[in-house]
Amino acid sequence: MQYLVLAPPVLPPSEPPSGAFALAAGLAGHGREVALLDLSLAFFERVFGSSKMASSAARELAYLRSTIGYEPGRHRTATGLLHKSLSDWGGDHPGWRLTLMDIEGPALAHDPVGLAKAMAKGSSPFAGLWEEVLDPLLDANRQAQVLVSLAYLSQVPATIELIAHLRHRGRRFFVGGSLPTSLAATGHGLEVLQSVLGPLELGDGSTLLDPGERLLDKLAYPHVIPPSAYFTSRPIVPVPLSTGCPWSRCLFCPDRGAPYTAVPMGAIENLLSTIPSEVLARHPVLHLTDSALPPQQLEGLLPLCEPSGLSFYGFARPTKALLRNDLVERAALAGCLMLQLGVESGSASLLARYEKGIDPAEARQVVRRAAQSGIRTYLYMLFGLPAETGEDRHATLDLLVQEADHVDFLNLSLFNLPRFCELAERAHEHDIRTGDYPMTGGIRLYTPFVTSHGNPRREARQFLAAHFRTHPKIRAAVLRTPRWLRPAHLGLMKLPGRSNLC
C-alpha cells in the first residue's frame, strides 16, 4: 500500500466521507495503491458496541442497516433512541457531548489551542481507538504515507489526538482537507490550526500526483476499511461530477468566481465500473457531491446509471436548465431518488438582489415536476438575509404552502455571513454592519452582522417559530425531515407517490 487515507471522528456514520473518498478514489484512479479507513465509523461502532449500550442500540441499528424504505415516524424513533443513548454516553465522559453528527469537547472546536490543552489534562473519548483499529494497519503497511482528511470542525478534537499518536509511532503523515483549504481561502485561523496540528496541505490532493495531473481526472473505487456496513440500508457511494459551481455568482458565496471544472465522464464511468461486487449486490446509491449539479454532467451520468440499476441523489439549483429536454423526468427513470433543491426564497426581488440566478416561478416548476416524476424533494430555504423583509418571508411561506403536496423534506436555515465574500466587502452598499465573534482560538468562517433596521437573523428565527413549525400545510414536511443522518437517509424514505425503493 502506498497511501492510507484516514477520516477522523466525528462524521455522520451514514456514508463514506466525501472528501476522503474522493482523495482515495483519485489516487486509485491514477494507479496508486490506496486504502481508506473511516475512523469515524469505527468510533461509532465502538460506542454503540460497548456493553452499556449494545442492547439498547442493537434494534435501532438493525432497522437503519436493513430496512428497505424507511417509514418517517419509525426512522425518527430509531434515530431519537440512538441519540438518547449518546446522551447516556456523555455521562461517562465528563466535558464531552456526542451526537450522530458532531462532538463537543471541553473547549470549543474553533479554539484548537484551548482544546488541545484541555484534552491533555483529562481522559479522551478516543482512548484505545487508534491502538485497536489503526495500529494493525500501520504495522502491516510500514511504508505507506498517511493522509489525514480534515473536513469539519467536528473532527478537530480527534485529529489533535490522532496526529499525536502518529508522531508517537514515528509515522510520516500529511493533514489536509476542505477545512484548512476553506480557512486559507475565505476564513480566519489557518495559522492557529497549524500551531496545533503542524503544517497543513491545501488543495484537493493533486500535489501527490505527477506534475500536470489532476486528481479527479481519473477515478477508481478504492479499498475501503472497515468492510462493515454504515448505518444505512444501502451503500452510499460519493461521486463528484464537477468541482466549483457552474453558476458561481452569488454575492455571499465565498467561492464566487472560483474555477469550475467538470470531471471527465470517462473517470465517472471507471469509478462506477470498479464498484466491488459485494457493494453492487446491496444496490448502492450514488451521492452526487457537487455543490450544484451541472445539468450537462447530469445528462452524461444518466446512461451510465440506467443499465446498471444504480440510484442517485444530489443538490441542484432549481432553474429552467433542469426542465429542458425533460431532464427531470429522464433522471427519475434513470434512478434519481431525491433532489436537494436550493429554492432559498419565494421572493424574486430578494434573490435578484444577491445575484442568486433563481426565479421562484421556475423553482416551483422544478419542484412540482420532480415530485410528479417520483423524485423526493428536499428544499433548502434560507432566512435572515440582510435585506429580508416580512413581505419576503411571507412570499416564501406562500410558495411552500402552495407547493405543499410536492415538498417532501425541508431544511430551514438561517443565513450566515462569510467573513470573506463579495457581500462582506460591499457591506456598506447593503446596509450591513459587521461585528465579530470573540476571537479566542481564532477559527472563524462567518461574522455576525446587523442592519439599520435590526437583526435579520433574530427576526427570521421568530418568524419561523410563529409560522413554519405550526402551519398545517408545512408541518408535515417538517416532521418528515429527521434531525439526524440526513440527507443520505432521506432518499431512502418510503413516501406515497415517490419512486419504489426495492
- The DSSP H or E segment spanning 168 is helix 156-168
Strand 103-104 versus strand 97-98 pairing type: antiparallel
Are residue 8 and residue 45 in the same domain, yes or no?
A: yes
What's the CA gap between 394 and 468, in Å, rounded? 10
Q: Reply yes or no on whether the pLDDT at 439 is more than 90.
A: no
Residues 331 and 400 in one domain: yes
Give the pLDDT band of residue 308 (cuts 50, 70, 90). Answer: confident
- CATH number, position 373: 3.80.30.20
In this structure, are residues 277 and 284 in contact, taking their beta carbons and an 8 Å threshold? Answer: no
What order of strands is seen across the sheet that includes strand 3-7? 173-176, 145-149, 3-7, 34-38, 223-225
Cell numbers given for 266: 470517462
- Regarding whether 243 and 177 lie in a shared domain, the answer is no
Do 261 and 296 share a structural domain? yes
DSSP letters for 174-214:
EEESHHHHHHHHH-B-HHHHHHHH-SB--SSSGGGS-TT--
What pLDDT shows up at residue 228?
73
* Predicted TM-score (pTM) above 0.85: yes
Q: Residue 440 pLDDT > 60, yes or no?
A: no
Query: Quick one: average pLDDT of 292-298?
Result: 96
In degrees and rounded to multiples of 5, residue 210 shows phi and psi of -70, 155
Q: Are 146 and 167 in contact (CB under 8 A)?
A: no
The span from the CA of 185 to the CA of 163, in Å, is 24
- Lowest mean pLDDT: which of 50-64, 206-220, 247-261? 50-64
| Residue 225 covered by a domain | no
- As given in the structure block, the three cell numbers for residue 128 are 484505545
Reduce the DSSP state of residue 495 to 3 states and report it.
coil
Task: Let me know if residue 19 belongs to a domain.
Answer: yes
pLDDT over 90 at 481, yes or no: yes
Cα-based angle 491, 243, 99 (whole degrees, multiple of 5): 45
The residue-averaged pLDDT of 470-485 equals 89
Which range (130-139, 308-317, 431-440) has the least confidence? 431-440
Residue 444 lies in a domain: yes
Asked if the peptide bond before residue 12 counts as cis, ω within 30 degrees of 0, the response is no
Q: With bands split at pLDDT 50, 70 and 90, how would you rate the model's confidence at 502?
A: low
Q: Across residues 92-101, what is the average pLDDT? A: 90
Q: Of the ranges 117-126, 132-141, 357-366, 492-501, which one carries the lowest mean pLDDT score?
A: 117-126
Taking alpha carbons only, the member of 63, 18, 60, 15 closest to residue 494 is: 63
The pLDDT tens digits of the residues spanning 169-190 come to 999 999 999 999 989 888 888 9
Same domain (yes/no): 155, 200:
yes
Is residue 44 located within the same domain as residue 192? yes
Task: Say if residues 436 and 448 touch (Cβ distance below 8 Å).
Answer: yes
**pLDDT in the model for residue 26:** 97
Specify whether 198 is located in the same domain as 265.
Answer: no
Amino acid at 199: P
Taking residues 52-77, report their average pLDDT. 89
Cα–Cα distance between 473 and 244 in angstroms, integer?
36
- E-strand ranges in 218-284 read 223-225, 236-239, 242-243, 261-262
Q: What letter represents residue 250's amino acid?
A: C
- Residue 366 contacts residue 318 (beta carbons within 8 Å): yes
- Residue 467 pLDDT greater than 90, yes or no: no
Q: For residue 345, is pLDDT > 90?
A: yes
Higher pLDDT among residues 350 and 438, named by residue: 350
Model pLDDT, residue 382: 97
Q: Predicted confidence band at 441 (pLDDT cuts at 50, 70, 90)?
A: low
- Please give the sequence-ordered ranges of beta strands (E in DSSP) within 319-460, or none if there are none: 336-344, 376-383, 409-414, 417-418, 432-434, 446-447, 449-451
Say if residue 392 is in the same domain as residue 477: yes
Mean per-residue pLDDT, 61-85: 93
pLDDT in tens, 148-170: 999 999 999 999 999 999 999 99
- pLDDT at position 443 over 90: no
Work out the number of other CB atoms within 10 angstroms of the CB of residue 169.
14
Is 498 part of a structural domain of the chain? no
Helices (H), 30-99: 39-48, 54-66, 72-91
Quick one: 87 and 159 in the same domain?
yes
CA 91 to chain centroid? 28
pLDDT-above-70 percentage for the chain: 98
Tell me if 483 is assigned to some domain. Answer: yes
Question: Which residue among 208, 224, 240 closes a domain?
Answer: 208
Residue 118 has pLDDT above 90, yes or no: no
Which of 168, 192, 208 corresponds to the end of one domain?
Answer: 208
Place of cell 434515530: 79
Cβ neighbours for 352, distance < 8 A, ≥ 6 positions apart? none
Say what angle helices 18-29 and 265-273 make with each other, to 10 degrees: 90
What is the number of other CB atoms lying within 10 angstroms of the CB of residue 202? Answer: 14
Range of the domain at 385: 232-492
Asked whether residue 112 is domain-assigned, the answer is yes
Residue 88 has pLDDT above 90, yes or no: no
Which DSSP letter does residue 326 get?
G
Q: Is residue 204 assigned to a domain?
A: yes
How high is the mean pLDDT of the chain? 92
Q: What is the mean pLDDT of residues 302-320?
A: 93
Instruction: Give the mean pLDDT of 204-216.
Output: 93
Residue 349 lies in a domain: yes
Number of structural domains, the chain?
A: 2
User: What is the C-alpha separation between 419 and 416, in angstroms, rounded?
Assistant: 9
How would residue 408 be classed by pLDDT, with cut points 50, 70 and 90?
very high
284 and 160, same structural domain? no
123 pLDDT higher than 90: no
Residues 173 and 261 in one domain: no
On whether both 255 and 197 belong to a single domain, the answer is no
